[in-house]
């Protein structure tokens, strides 16, 4: 009965499509689970709807995969969708041949409207575009992307529309309307879509230029040479993807290397209207304004030099990691992980992330959950304390793509995702001011997840991804994989461990190092000043003895990460067991170089906050002046009895200005957050 009902639904879809374009609806009827069916056999049983896609899967070498055990999501275009796609792409290609100018040829990969003429390589590309190596029901799809890459290592975007009947429709990549959803089979789920998914092949600069309302900033990106720096997509020299490493435990299964090494970029852009509202009507006007905004820069320097004010302006709009809107801050993560920001981060604590821009400055992205006005908004360089002089440099809103599209019909077709990055529209001119950043925006606890120090972990779907292929969800990080990590010994084994609630970690994940390690991370470029540098970790008998260095200078004596916080060397006493809510105990611990964990996150699958868990500790590494230039924090194994199994677990780092620590007006809650 179930098979017959679904067949009628699928047949109806095919008839509607054939009669002149797919009807825009999502079937809200019952969902069926097809016991004994795979994705492949489900499609084959309904070949009257999917025969073209079956042929593409077969010739692309992916039909066999859809018969195999696993967990997959398949977005299956109808026969009519594929017929239209081939006709449209062939028409685009042939129209570009008219003037015989080879520079005008648009290569779509399709040179005939006939499926039989489609190359096997193009069949593979189309197949892999429509397949994900994870199961996503429509109830799992929220935000602006599906958080697992497809088999072509591209994210699929999510957007929403309303059809002529007033029903909601879910769109994949802006055009792929789901018209029959959530058909569960033994190895995954099938969603029927009314259009072939055809992701943009534009790099970030080309994607910017496709939008006529980013003309001024687009011209500035070209003129300053940043467009050339935004072209990289994939490191073709990387060859470690097929290798596997020993896991973190002797009994662990083999741990994979990252499959690829992709590059990624994000651009935060003012529309032309934002510039018009500020009296800027051309690139020449912008150059004059940049000289005012950056008076210490040299207007006579080449536009491609970081000494030039326009270059400084543009460089602060760009970062070297691909960040969809839902990944700008730690929010929800992956539905397949049991770690969730809305359960495991304290409800009304701000979600902060810190990124180095392409002109070597620090940008703060915040979802200020503590602020009722902006609880679900993302802002650049947020500060709740502002004044007229500092306001131009703070609290720039990054538009949710759906909200931006609804601002004006001009923006309705806004496409955020490029081949190698993402573009975001912002609500006002984005400027950097060192005094405002040091005095207000960053005069706080700058807490950075250890995995955020390396952009490659974001660009290659490692950070915040939930891996199920190894015992502890870990991925091995090769020695030369991350530009912000230096490895000094061949024996260093570095791992990323997926977000999970079975441990007590900030943002759910952690970095883990084993072996005779000696390695370093590049610290983010904070405003010049004196800072207290800390590390957050969990202590247990599996841990390590580590010597810390900052800028190759020894930072204190070796630290034994095995000792419990209740050890007299640390001296933890629960707040509830003190008469002053732990105030004196905080001072005593700090004198020994330690702090209790923050009050801003929970963990271990429980409702208690990290501060109340004696196993979670913050270690003060050093207090140091950080000036211009690069700064590195280094870690060396000094455990003489290590047999290669001791763990250097590092969860996050804190860079805390001394001006913050000396601020007597801060509440106890602020200092403990």
Provide the number of structural domains found in the chain. 3
For residue 649, count CB atoms less than 10 angstroms from its CB and return exposed for 0-12, middle for 13-18, buried for 19 or more: buried
Kindly state the DSSP code that residue 437 receives in the 8-state scheme. I
Say whether both 330 and 407 belong to one domain.
yes
Rg of the chain, C-alpha, whole Å: 27
For residue 475, give its domain range. Answer: 446-672
Say whether both 374 and 494 belong to one domain.
no
Say whether both 187 and 209 belong to one domain.
no
Task: Dump pLDDT digits (tens) for 583-598.
Answer: 999 999 999 999 999 9
Inform me whether the pLDDT recorded for 9 exceeds 80: no
Inform me whether the pLDDT recorded for 624 exceeds 70: yes
Distance of CA 526 to the CA centre of its chain: 22
Please answer whether residues 73 and 135 qualify as being in contact, where contact means their C-beta atoms are separated by less than 8 angstroms. yes
Task: Dump pLDDT digits (tens) for 23-73.
Answer: 222 233 334 456 689 999 999 999 999 999 999 999 999 999 999 988 999
Which of residues 441, 472, 488 is at a domain's end?
441
- Spatial CB neighbours of 52, under 8 Å, sequence gap ≥ 6: 77, 79, 82, 83, 115
Say whether both 52 and 87 belong to one domain.
yes
- The reply to whether 632 falls in a domain is yes
- Spatial CB neighbours of 522, under 8 Å, sequence gap ≥ 6: 453, 484, 485, 630, 631, 632
Task: Dump pLDDT digits (tens) for 314-330.
Answer: 999 999 999 999 899 98
Inform me whether the pLDDT recorded for 193 exceeds 60: yes
Q: What is the DSSP string of 502-551?
A: TS--GGG-EEEEESS-EEEEEPP-PPSEEEEEEEEEE--TTB-EEEEEET
Task: Dump pLDDT digits (tens) for 630-639.
Answer: 999 999 999 9
Instruction: Kindly provide the b/e burial profile for residues 511-546, where b requires at least 16 CB atoms within 10 angstroms of the residue's own CB.
Output: bbbbbebbbbbbbbbbbebebbbbbbbbbeebbbbb
Question: What are the CA-CA distances from residue 398 to residues 360, 404, 425, 526 (Å)?
Answer: 21, 9, 6, 22
Say whether both 229 and 158 belong to one domain.
no
Nearest in space to 52 (alpha carbons), one of 28, 26, 101, 17: 17
Distance of CA 378 to the CA centre of its chain: 14
Say whether both 22 and 169 belong to one domain.
yes
Average pLDDT over residues 3-21: 35
Which of residues 406, 441, 476 is at a domain's end?
441
Say whether both 136 and 232 belong to one domain.
no
Inform me whether the pLDDT recorded for 303 exceeds 60: yes
CA 496 – CA 474 distance, rounded (Å): 5
CA 191 – CA 188 distance, rounded (Å): 10
The CATH number of the domain where 48 resides is what? Answer: 2.30.180.10
Q: Is the dihedral of CA 546, 551, 554, 555 positive or negative?
A: negative
Task: Dump pLDDT digits (tens) for 354-363.
Answer: 999 999 999 9
Q: How many C-beta atoms lie closer than 10 Å to residue 171's C-beta?
A: 18
The confidence score (pLDDT) of residue 312 equals: 98
Please answer whether residues 130 and 145 qualify as being in contact, where contact means their C-beta atoms are separated by less than 8 angstroms. no
The confidence score (pLDDT) of residue 339 equals: 80
Q: How long is the chain? A: 673
The confidence score (pLDDT) of residue 664 equals: 82
The residues facing 178 across adjacent strands are 193
CA 246 – CA 592 distance, rounded (Å): 37
Nearest in space to 453 (alpha carbons), one of 530, 514, 533: 533
Which of residues 168, 193, 218 is at a domain's end?
193
- Spatial CB neighbours of 23, under 8 Å, sequence gap ≥ 6: 16, 17, 163, 179
Say whether both 451 and 436 belong to one domain.
no
Say whether both 214 and 317 belong to one domain.
yes
Say whether both 429 and 515 belong to one domain.
no
Say whether both 323 and 389 belong to one domain.
yes
How is residue 610 written in tokens? 């990290």
Task: Dump pLDDT digits (tens) for 138-161.
Answer: 988 887 888 888 998 888 988 888
Please answer whether residues 369 and 348 qualify as being in contact, where contact means their C-beta atoms are separated by less than 8 angstroms. yes
- Residue of higher predicted confidence among 17 and 513: 513
Say whether both 363 and 512 belong to one domain.
no
- The reply to whether 199 falls in a domain is no
Nearest in space to 131 (alpha carbons), one of 170, 172, 159, 82: 172
- The reply to whether 397 falls in a domain is yes
């Amino acid at each position: 009965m179930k098979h017959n009902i679904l067949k009628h639904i699928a047949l109806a879809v095919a008839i509607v499509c054939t009669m002149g374009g797919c009807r825009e609806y999502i079937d809200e009827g019952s969902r069926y689970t097809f016991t004994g069916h795979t994705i492949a056999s489900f499609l084959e049983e309904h070949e009257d709807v999917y025969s073209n896609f079956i042929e593409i899967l077969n010739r692309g070498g992916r039909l066999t995969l859809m018969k195999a055990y696993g967990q997959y999501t398949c977005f299956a275009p109808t026969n009519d969708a594929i017929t239209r796609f081939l006709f449209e792409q062939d028409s685009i290609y042939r129209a570009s041949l008219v003037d015989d100018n080879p520079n005008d040829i648009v290569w779509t990969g399709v040179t005939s409207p006939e499926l039989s003429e489609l190359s096997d390589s193009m069949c593979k590309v189309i197949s892999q575009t429509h397949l994900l190596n994870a199961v996503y029901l429509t109830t799992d799809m929220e935000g602006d992307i599906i958080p697992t890459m497809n088999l072509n290592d591209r994210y699929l975007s999510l957007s929403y529309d309303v059809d002529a009947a007033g029903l909601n429709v879910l769109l994949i990549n802006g055009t792929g309307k789901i018209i029959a959803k959530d058909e569960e089979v033994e190895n995954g789920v099938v969603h029927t879509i009314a259009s072939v998914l055809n992701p943009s092949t534009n790099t970030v600069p080309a994607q910017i230029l496709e939008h006529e309302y980013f003309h001024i900033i687009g011209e500035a990106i070209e003129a300053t040479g940043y467009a050339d720096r935004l072209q990289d997509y994939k490191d073709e020299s990387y060859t470690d993807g097929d290798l596997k490493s020993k896991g973190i435990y002797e009994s662990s299964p083999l741990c994979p290397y990252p499959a690829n090494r992709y590059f990624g970029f994000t651009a935060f852009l003012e529309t032309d209207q934002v510039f018009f509202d500020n009296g800027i009507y051309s690139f020449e006007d912008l150059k004059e304004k940049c000289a005012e905004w950056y008076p210490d820069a040299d207007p006579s320097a080449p536009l491609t030099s970081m000494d030039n004010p326009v270059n400084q302006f543009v460089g602060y709009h760009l970062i070297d990691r691909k960040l969809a809107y839902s990944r700008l801050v730690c929010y929800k993560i992956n539905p397949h992980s049991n770690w969730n920001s809305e359960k495991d981060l304290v409800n009304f604590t701000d979600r902060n992330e810190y990124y180095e821009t392409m002109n070597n400055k620090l940008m703060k992205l915040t979802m200020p959950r503590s602020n009722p006005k902006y609880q679900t908004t993302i802002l650049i360089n947020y500060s709740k304390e502002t004044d007229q002089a500092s306001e131009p440099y703070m609290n720039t809103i990054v538009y949710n793509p759906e909200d931006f599209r609804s601002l004006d019909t001009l923006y309705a077709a806004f496409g955020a995702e490029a081949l190698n990055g993402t573009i975001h529209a912002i609500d006002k001119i984005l400027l950097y001011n060192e005094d405002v950043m040091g005095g207000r925006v960053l005069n706080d606890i700058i807490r950075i997840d250890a995995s955020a120090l390396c952009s490659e972990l974001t660009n290659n779907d490692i950070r915040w991804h939930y891996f199920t292929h190894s015992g502890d969800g870990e991925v091995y990080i090769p020695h030369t994989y991350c530009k912000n990590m230096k490895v000094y010994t061949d024996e260093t084994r570095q791992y990323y461990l997926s977000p999970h609630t079975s441990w007590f970690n900030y943002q759910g994940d952690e970095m883990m190092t084993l072996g005779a390690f000696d390695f370093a991370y590049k610290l983010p470029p904070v405003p010049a000043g004196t800072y207290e540098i800390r590390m957050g970790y969990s202590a247990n008998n599996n841990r390590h003895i580590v010597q810390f260095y900052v800028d190759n200078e020894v930072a204190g004596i070796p630290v034994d990460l095995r000792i419990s916080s209740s050890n007299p060397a640390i001296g933890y006493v629960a707040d509830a067991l003190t008469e002053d809510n732990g105030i004196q105990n905080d001072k005593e611990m700090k004198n020994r170089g330690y702090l209790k964990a923050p009050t801003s996150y929970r963990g271990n699958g429980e409702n208690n906050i990290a501060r109340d868990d004696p196993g979670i500790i913050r270690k003060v590494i050093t207090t140091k002046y950080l000036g211009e230039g690069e700064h590195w924090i280094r870690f060396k194994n000094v455990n003489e009895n290590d047999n290669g199994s001791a763990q250097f677990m590092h969860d996050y780092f804190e860079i805390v200005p001394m001006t913050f620590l000396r601020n007597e007006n801060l509440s106890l809650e602020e200092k403990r957050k």
